[in-house]
Structures are given as structure tokens and as C-alpha cells.
Amino acid sequence: MQDNGLKRSGLDQIKHIWTKWVSTLVVLVLLMLTLVIGTGEMIHGQLLRMGESLYGNPATGMQYSFLRADPVAPQCDRHPNIDAQVQTQMKANAADEFADVFGTASESDVRASLLAAQQMCEEKYQFFDKAEKHLAEHPSLPFYRTVETYFFGIFKFGTDNRAILLVLMVVFAAISATLNAHHIGLRSPTTKLDFRVYSVYMFVGNAFLTASSISQYISVINSGVPITGEMQTIYWLWMTLFAILTVISFWQLLKVPSQAKEGGNFGMAFLSIPLYAHMAIITGVAFTFFMDYPMGQGIYLGQLVEFSSIFLNLALFIWAGMLLKQTRIVDLFLNILRPWNLAPETLTWLILIAAALPTAYTGASGIFVIAAGAIIYKEVWNAGGRRQFALAATAMSGSLGVVLRPCLLIVVVASLNKEVTTDLLYHYGVYVFLLTSTMFLVISLFFAEQKFRIASPAVAFPQSARAFVPVLPYVLIFILIWLFYKYALSTDLNEFTAPVMMPVVLLIMVLFDKLRHVPAPVAATGHWDASLSDSSSQTNAANYKAPDHSGESSAQGFWGSMHTATTETVGHIGALIILMALSVSVGGFLERIEVMDMFPTDISSIFIVITLIVALMVFVGMIMDPFGAVILISATVAPVAYQYGIHPVHFWMITLIGFELGYVTPPVALNHLLARQAIGDEEVAAADAEVRHKPFYYRYERWILPVIVMLPAMLIVAYIPYIFKLFDWYK
């Protein structure tokens, strides 16, 4: 999405304006609105507490909550003639045609009732008088009340319209992703044949989605069930989106990009097809022609709406990841490690441990791979690591944090399964993280050409300490913002507040960088840093020198960086969330064919049950996005596992590590696809060419290493707790 300054045709100019300005600005507004809604809710809660502190009076029983609206004068008679009312009521009772059947109240009962009503009326007048007096004594209260109710209106508007905000965001982002061929596939299209096959599948897939959305809308209309205004809007947004994507795909089929190369073959072209197009065609054909259920895809898109708050949080995490990319935080952290001249395996292990936290804080959605993948790859290679090893490390940098707080995936699991809580899953997730990170170190050292290397502490420590100084301002910014939320807004940083707090933290850090006129960060997604080829593969600690950026200047200011980050965010939202939506559709397809009916019902051994679950989790993890897989597994596999006596926490630990394995295992291997996007196709091709003459393992190390790390770890997590009866899960 770079502007090369070339003269564009009319259609290319429209695409450029849409991508760079229309969709970017609309999504930025929606992201900011989501951020304001989340923060506004925190602010509103604090305003209520402050209002009670400023205007409440325990001595008189007057609370601020009573005064959030002007008191209304009572309409009852404060001084009624009780005797006259008693006589009137007695006459009315005597004239009642059912008096002989049910009897009538005595005069004393009628009088008691009227006196009680008078007492209630008097209390209303007393409260009204007291409220009026309290308002007169606090003339600033109406203004404060206006501010507080304004914030209440903001977050109430957001809460009531979360689904529409999400679908609007997806509409603009998906159009941009389609215009720029940004959807996730096993490889990027390069030849004219690649682009034509890509466009044909996109056209067919989007046509199925359009037809399904229309079919769902017609079905709802014909059902006679009233449709709310919100759902009416959402139905029309889905139909409009997929109709536009179908038209765009048809146009791209007719107009192949001018930069496309000649030649190509169908085998490689097939790998260029976006995963979401595969899923759309498979589910579209199955639902329409084999199940007589043409509205199926549209109905399962409703899961996106049902969990709109989760996917809005994911969008905020994606934005936070792209803002992270606009800072020098990762590079500055690596400056602390560089003086030690560590062996690439040891350095990578430390990087993976450090990367787990930002992975969790960016929703475990692979966004950290995009944000920091290029610099991690370069660092591991510069340390002397093989290119294939560096590619494996880059892919794994975005998976180990899946089990750590405040990973969004675990929030989804806990929200769908009352048998587990986020605290329990995060607690045992730490053990899984320690296991997988240790397994990586052991296995990578086994295949290492140089087992261990470290510089003299006398040389490395002073330089490392000096490199830590530039990191301190970022640590201070994080602490100050955390303290502000904790004490000013009474909100701590956890899995529920992280999606709102992290973009704020990163925005302040980007602003800090730009005010200091620091060097520009790593180049934009998909465009490799040309300086890589000039980097030496070995760096001696004695003559270590931090990268010299003196000749560089920040290419853009704060607003330019935010624009760049948001533009990249748009592409990733359009690619990732649409992929997740179709993963849910695939899950719905598997659910409708009753795949769990194939699961034996008379198994007497838990070992066999665990083995079947492991095999199923590996399979699901390889073909589905984890967010879609969680919805499927929660509805189908989890109840069966609980029925057979698998402890819920144990089951989800197996599932989560299965997702980690799925992130890096073909045929999808999402993190490998995102790593390729961050590093660039040419660099990945060069890494493959470099090892063509080497043994099998080294030729395919980027695929094999993550699997031989994660698969044994998954088997340990699956069987050891049951065999040794750990954690009191089994008796």
C-alpha cells in the first residue's frame, strides 16, 4: 500500500482514495468511538462515585443517584379529608354488586388504608422539599449532573450499538482488504494466472455469501417475526458488503494487475487462493446444494454479531499492535540483549519469552508477528541463526502467549463455558507456557551448530545497562497510565480492560517517540527492510555498537504514524475478522453434519478419550481460526469430554496448546502466513533457496521445529496430569 508516485488510472485512483483515506478515516473514527465508549464507561463509574462523594449527604439520607434528574413535585393531596374519604369509600363498597359474595372492608380497615396513603404522600413531599433544598445548597450540581449523564449517554449508545459498530468496521475493512488483495492465503499471487484463479475463487465465494445473506433476510421477513431496526441495518450491511465484494472480485478477474508476471501454473495458483474464499465456497456448496440450507452462512455470520464486544476488542488489539510497530520499543529492548552476543538459539529463547507478554496483550491474534516479526527475524539472523530457524522463531513469537493473561482467546473460552474461569485458565496457562518455552530451548539447542555462546559480562553488562536507559521512558509511560486508570478511574489492568487501555498506552508512546524525533521504525508490512542484507551475521561484544540511526529522521509525525498504523489495521481487520467469521461458518457446517456423533459413546478408558481429543484438537487447530474453533468446540466437543470425566480445566489446556500447535502447523499455519507477510515473499524464497542442498530437517526447519516443540508439549499436557493425578483434577 505504498505510494510510488506513479500516475494512476481512474479505477486505481478510486482504490487509492478508498484505501488511504475513506476506509482509514472511517475505521479510525469507529476505533476511537469504541475506545471512548470503553473509557467513557470507566469515567462514568468514577463520576458516579465522585458525585456521591461531592453531593451525597448520609446525615439527611440524600444520595447523588436521587438527583440525577430534577425532582418532580408529587401530584397527591398532602392534606386530605380522611373522614369524607372514608364515607365515600364505604358507600362505594356497599354499592358493589359482589359485596354479598366477597364481603366489604370494615370502616377501620378503610381508614387505615387511607392513612397509609396519606403517609406515603407526605413522605414524597418531604423528599421533594429536601431535594429542592439540597439543590439550592449545591448550585454546581446541575452542571456536574449534565457532564455525568453525557458520559452515561456515550457508553449507553455504544453498548446499544456495538453490533452495528463492528459490522460497519468490517464492511469498510473488508472492502479495503479485497481491493488490495490483502486476504490471507498460503502464498501471495504473483503471476497473471495466480491473480485470475484468485479472482475466480473470490468471485464465487463472495457470490455464495451474497446469496446466503439475501436468503437469510428473505427467510426472516417471511417468518413474520418482527425485526428490530438494529437487525434490519445489520442484514442490509451484510448484503451490501458481499455484493460489493462480488463486484470487486469480478472487476479484478477482468483487470489483472499490471505488475503481475507472465506464466505460472495451477498448482501454485491454487495456493494463492485466500483461506476465506476456500471456506466460503465449501460451506456455500454444502449448505446450498446438499443441506437445502442456503441461509446457513448468513446465519452463522450472526455469531460475529452475538460476540460483537469480543471482536471489537480484537480490533482494538490489532490497532494496538500496529501502533506498537510505529514505536522503537522492540528494537530498544533488543539493544539490551545485543551486547551479550548470545548464540542464536539462546537469544531466540529469550525473545520468545519476552514476546509472550505482548502476544497476550495483543489478543493472541498473530498481530505481534506482524508488528515485530521483521525485526525479530533480522535479529535472530544477525546473531548467526539460520534463515529457516529465524523464520520458525518469528512464527512462534506470536503463539506462546496464547495461555497468558490477558489473552482474549481465554476470555472467549470462559464466556462460553461456565465450568471454567479466566483466573483458573490463566493460572494453569503459566505452567503450559513454561513447558513450551523450555521445550523450545532444549530442542533448538539439540539441533544447534554452536551450543552456547556468551560475551564477557565485564564487557557486555555496562553496554547492556546503557541500552536499558532509553527503555525507561516507555516503562514510565506504561506505569503512569496504569496508575491513572487504577486510581483516577478505579480500573485495574486485566483481561477485560486491556483492550481499552493498551491502545491508549501505545498512542502515548507513539506521541512520545514523535516529540523526540526518533528514527523511523521498521518498514511497513510486507516490504522488507533493505538494510538486512548489509547486516553482519556475527557481532562481537567487545566491539558491539548499537545501530546507528544518526542519518535517519522520522519519516512522519504523530498524525502520520497514526494514519499509517490505522491503514494497516484496516487491512488486518478486513482479513482476520472475515476469516474468523468464515471459520465460524465452517464450525457450523461441522456441527450440522453432527461430526460428534462419530465419537464413540461407550469408551471405558479415559486414556482413549484423551487420545481422541488430542487428535481432534490438532485437526481443528490446523484448519480453523482459534476464535471460530472455540465456538465450535464449546458447543460440540466440550460437553462430551466433560461427560467422560475429563476435567474442564485440563480439557481447555489441551485445547489451547492445540491452538498453539495449529498456529504453526500446515495446511493453514496462520502465524507462518503472517510472518511471511511481515518479512516479505522474496526473503522467504531466499531462505528456502539457501538450504536446497541441505538435509531434510534443515530444508524444512521453519515448519518442523515448531511442530517438534509443540507436539511433545501437547502430549505432556494431555497425559501427564491424568497419569500422575496432578492438580487434584482426577482422583
**Secondary structure of 565-585 as H, E, C letters:** HHHHHHHHHHHHHHHHHHHHH
As a whole number of angstroms, the distance between CA 617 and CA 667 comes to 14
- Min mean pLDDT across 287-296, 521-530, 615-624 is at 521-530
Query: Is the omega angle on the peptide bond into residue 499 within 30 degrees of 0, that is, cis?
Result: no
Instruction: Determine the Cα–Cα distance for residues 141 and 139; give it in Å rounded to an integer.
Output: 6
Amino acid at 227: I
Mean pLDDT of 381-406: 90
The pLDDT value given to residue 101: 61
In contact, 111 and 82? CB cutoff 8 Å: yes
DSSP letter assigned to residue 449: S
The confidence band for 319, taking pLDDT boundaries of 50, 70 and 90, is very high
Looking at residues 60-75, what average pLDDT do you find?
A: 88
Inter-CA distances, 238 with 234, 242, 730, Å: 6, 6, 47
Q: In this model, does residue 331 exceed pLDDT 80?
A: yes
- Which pLDDT band holds residue 191 (cuts at 50, 70, 90)? very high
538 backbone dihedrals φ, ψ, rounded to 5°: -125, 135
CB 186 within 8 A of CB 667: yes
| pTM metric for this prediction | 0.84
Residue 84's contacts (CB-CB under 8 Å, 6 or more residues apart) are none
Alpha-carbon distance of 318 to 360, in angstroms, equals 12
Identify the weakest region by mean pLDDT among 259-263, 410-414, 509-513.
Answer: 259-263
Q: What's the pLDDT score for residue 89?
A: 84
Q: Per residue in 10-23, pLDDT tens?
A: 567 888 899 889 99
Average pLDDT, rounded, for the chain: 87
Residue 542, pLDDT above cutoff 90: no
The per-residue DSSP string of 44-83 comes to HHHHHHHHHHHH-BTTTTB-GGGGSSPPPPP-S-SS--HH
The C-alpha angle with vertex 317 and arms to 171 and 495, in degrees rounded to 5, equals: 125
Whether 521 and 325 have beta carbons less than 8 Å apart is answered as yes
> Which of 13-17, 266-270, 568-572 is least confident?
13-17
CA separation for the pair 715, 399 (Å, rounded): 17
Within 10 A of 544 (CB to CB), how many other CB atoms are there? Answer: 18
pLDDT of 431 over the 90 cut: yes
* Whole-number Å distance between alpha carbons of 9 and 266: 30
* Residue 264: predicted pLDDT: 85
Reply yes or no on whether the pLDDT at 6 is more than 80.
no
pLDDT recorded at residue 176 = 95
pLDDT of residue 364: 60
pLDDT of residue 216: 95
As beta bridge partners, residue 261 has: 191
pLDDT of residue 103: 65
Q: What are the grid coordinates assigned to 324, written together?
A: 506498537
Choose between 77 and 244: higher pLDDT: 244
Average pLDDT of the segment spanning 315-336: 90
- C-alpha 88 chain-centroid distance: 68
Contact 189, 256 (CB under 8 A): no
Three-state SS at 261: strand
The strand pairing partners of 185, in sequence order, are 274
Q: Is the pLDDT of residue 553 over 60?
A: no
With the C-alpha atoms ordered 495, 501, 503, 509, is the resulting torsion angle positive or negative? negative
CB of 211 closer than 8 Å to CB of 287:
no
- Annotated domain spans of the chain: 163-307, 329-521, 593-724
Predicted confidence (pLDDT) at residue 543 exceeds the cutoff of 80: no
Tell me the CA distances in angstroms from 644 to 121, 552, 597, 605, 651, one per residue in order. 62, 62, 15, 9, 11
Task: Find the mean pLDDT for residues 65-75.
Answer: 89
Residue-level pLDDT at 212: 97
| All three cell numbers of 51 | 458525585
Span 229-255, average pLDDT: 95
pLDDT bracket for residue 157 (50, 70, 90): confident
Q: Please state the rounded mean pLDDT for residues 337-362.
A: 89
